[in-house]
Chain A
Amino acid sequence: MQIPQDLQYTKTHEWVKFNEDGSKAKVGITDFAQNQMGDIVFITLPEVGDSVAAEDTLTDFESVKAVSDIYSPVSGDICAVNEDLADAPELLNSDPYAAWIVELENLGETAELLSAAAYQAYCQEQEEA
């Protein structure tokens, strides 16, 4: 399972990457999340301009027989969405860390964020449970 060092993670299996000056953040789902879900067939893309609070539902994504919520790791306004995912949701399976879902700006507080190492440990716990 891949867990890149340069990202931060939530316990609900999202990743977040802040830009250099910390003014914007890209959000996606982790390798663990896509693996749990299996073949992803659709993701509802939120609208640019919408606001979201940390830990609130950002959007959801679907496999053939399941649906799962994606929670925002940070509060902010959606300034970009990855339109490629509309036609190719399988990118979330094949390369979850390249397949960012939204970019947020006007950032506020964050959810509890884990380092790569802490997230790895957390996932191991989850798998053993």
Chain B
Amino acid sequence: MTMLIFERSGQGRRLSLLPETPVDVEQYIPGECLRRQDLDLPQLSENDISRHYTELAKRSHGVNDGFYPLGSCTMKYNPKLNEEMAASAGFCDIHPLQPLDTVQGCLQVMADAQKYLAEITGMDAVSLQPGAGAHGEFTGLLLIKAYLRSLGQDGRTKIIVPDSAHGTNPASAAMAGFSVINVPSDPQGDVDLAALKEAVGEDTAALMLTNPNTLGRFDKNILQITQIVHAAGGLCYYDGANLNAVVGLVRPGDMGFDVVHLNLHKTFSTPHGGGGPGSGPVGCKSFLAPFLPGPLAAEEPGGSYGWHLPVQCIGAVKAFYGNFLVAVKALSYILTLGADGLAAAATQAVLNANYLMKQLSGSYDMACDGLCMHEFVMSLEKLKQETGVSAMDVAKAILDCHMYPPTMYFPLIVHEALMVEPTETESKETLDQAAQAYLEIYRRAFSDPESLHNAPCGTVIGRVDEVGAARNPRLKYGD
């Protein structure tokens, strides 16, 4: 068992980091404003800290540690150059409120990233301010809200969301003050056109959609879908979570979408960081551009760069200009891959997913037939009925193979779902090994189901008591 950092602490241990000039604080700050509570941070040597976090690193699994086909999350390899660029002093040590002539390079990074992302999505303008995908959704919906208000169409209060959507879609709609209409999907996860026609009307603000959808299928009715919504006076919002399947090949703008968010930490390979920081730029068609959160970076005549605040700006959604260093990494990625490389990456992502799906489809049931895009969803409902082995059991057994399991129990419309997204940066050999592991587990579901209920057994801990954790929350050391 690993000690907590607090358990490693020893009274009086410390690093020598700052000059030890004594300061009489009470000379400056009235005594009654001073903290009385003990500041109980750990007291450690540098070696204590180094060992501690090295141990924690060993108890974690990143993309560098092995196959990570977590569906909908696009866990591709994160190029080292991008990290190095973002760590350079010329980007890191720049104050956000420096004079304009001292931040021309930062503005160029932003202006170029805005320009390339606009072209890649088929949009007219992009703001880099949102901090993640969900934040981008919220921002995009506020653009729609502000736009509709400017037209006096306050009565458009409903956002249509398919039941296969990511949970953030309805949550973002609610945060932006809209109410949500859920529309059913057909068994392929495609939008049910009849249900959509029924749902749209004078109260429709927008449809939120991800394409490819969460079953990993490209909705081939996409042009009809966006037409139906536009005909009813609504707007179309593209959830860019699954853009990796089509980046460089198909543009949301050409599918009929008016506003889009991207997840730079997915499609553009800026790392996930164990949960963040990410970045969720929002792009839109020109009629929405005046509402974008700002300021935006703009190239000016003469080759210099300045700020541009959209005239009907919704305000700021985040302090300053977004997660700038993440934009640096994304730009570095885009420059390296270029138009041809992005298209090749998307193509390989789709080929890898289909290849792995093919290896597994003789045993596992797929949620839908035919080819998939960048990910596929398996349904273990029948396996569970026959053997008692659940999607959770299979996922936990995968842990013993030193791979990260697929996304479990999503999308909600598939029972006992496992969602697999290999990404383009995995080799055929890795996919073959993964297929063998999955097929072996499938066989064990029939021969030795008990061993799967007890999996994993080779990890540093076994399955955890989530019920106990939620009933009696212990959220800090000492609780």
Partner-B contacts on A (CB < 8 A): 39, 41-42, 62, 64-65, 89-90
Find out whether the CB atom of A90 lies under 8 angstroms from the CB atom of B471.
yes
- Residues of chain B in range 369-410 having any CB-CB distance to chain A below 8 Å: 409
- The answer to whether B467 has its CB under 8 Å from any CB of chain A is yes
Kindly state the separation between the CA atoms of A39 and B468 in the bound complex, as whole angstroms: 10
Chain A neighbourhood of B470, CB < 8 A: 41-42, 62, 64
Kindly state the separation between the CA atoms of A62 and B466 in the bound complex, as whole angstroms: 13
Kindly state the separation between the CA atoms of A90 and B466 in the bound complex, as whole angstroms: 14
From B471, which residue of chain A is reached at the shortest CB distance? Answer: A41
Tell me what chain A mostly uses at the interface: helix, strand, loop, or mixed.
Answer: loop
Chain B neighbourhood of A39, CB < 8 A: 467, 471
From B470, which residue of chain A is reached at the shortest CB distance? Answer: A41
Chain B neighbourhood of A64, CB < 8 A: 466-467, 470
- Residues of chain B in range 421-479 having any CB-CB distance to chain A below 8 Å: 466-467, 470-471
Chain B neighbourhood of A42, CB < 8 A: 470-471
Kindly state the separation between the CA atoms of A60 and B470 in the bound complex, as whole angstroms: 15
Q: Known pairs A39-B467, A65-B409, A89-B471. 11 more at Cβ < 8 A? A: A39-B471, A41-B467, A41-B470, A41-B471, A42-B470, A42-B471, A62-B470, A64-B466, A64-B467, A64-B470, A90-B471
Chain B neighbourhood of A62, CB < 8 A: 470
Kindly state the separation between the CA atoms of A39 and B470 in the bound complex, as whole angstroms: 10
Chain A neighbourhood of B471, CB < 8 A: 39, 41-42, 89-90
A116 to chain B, nearest CB (A): 30
Chain B neighbourhood of A41, CB < 8 A: 467, 470-471
Kindly state the separation between the CA atoms of A41 and B472 in the bound complex, as whole angstroms: 8
Kindly state the separation between the CA atoms of A41 and B467 in the bound complex, as whole angstroms: 6
Contact with A along B306-330 (1 / 0, CB 8 A): 0000000000000000000000000
Kindly state the separation between the CA atoms of A39 and B471 in the bound complex, as whole angstroms: 9
Q: List 7 A-B contacts (CB under 8 A).
A: A39-B467, A41-B471, A62-B470, A64-B470, A65-B409, A89-B471, A90-B471
B39 to chain A, nearest CB (A): 31
B353 to chain A, nearest CB (A): 26
Kindly state the separation between the CA atoms of A108 and B467 in the bound complex, as whole angstroms: 38
B47 to chain A, nearest CB (A): 39
Chain B neighbourhood of A90, CB < 8 A: 471
Chain B neighbourhood of A89, CB < 8 A: 471
Kindly state the separation between the CA atoms of A42 and B467 in the bound complex, as whole angstroms: 10
Kindly state the separation between the CA atoms of A89 and B470 in the bound complex, as whole angstroms: 10
From B466, which residue of chain A is reached at the shortest CB distance? Answer: A64
A51 to chain B, nearest CB (A): 23
Kindly state the separation between the CA atoms of A64 and B467 in the bound complex, as whole angstroms: 6
Kindly state the separation between the CA atoms of A90 and B471 in the bound complex, as whole angstroms: 8
B430 to chain A, nearest CB (A): 30
- Residues of chain B in range 167-217 having any CB-CB distance to chain A below 8 Å: none
A91 to chain B, nearest CB (A): 11
Kindly state the separation between the CA atoms of A89 and B471 in the bound complex, as whole angstroms: 7
Chain A neighbourhood of B467, CB < 8 A: 39, 41, 64
B123 to chain A, nearest CB (A): 36
From A40, which residue of chain B is reached at the shortest CB distance? Answer: B471
Contact with A along B51-72 (1 / 0, CB 8 A): 0000000000000000000000
B227 to chain A, nearest CB (A): 36
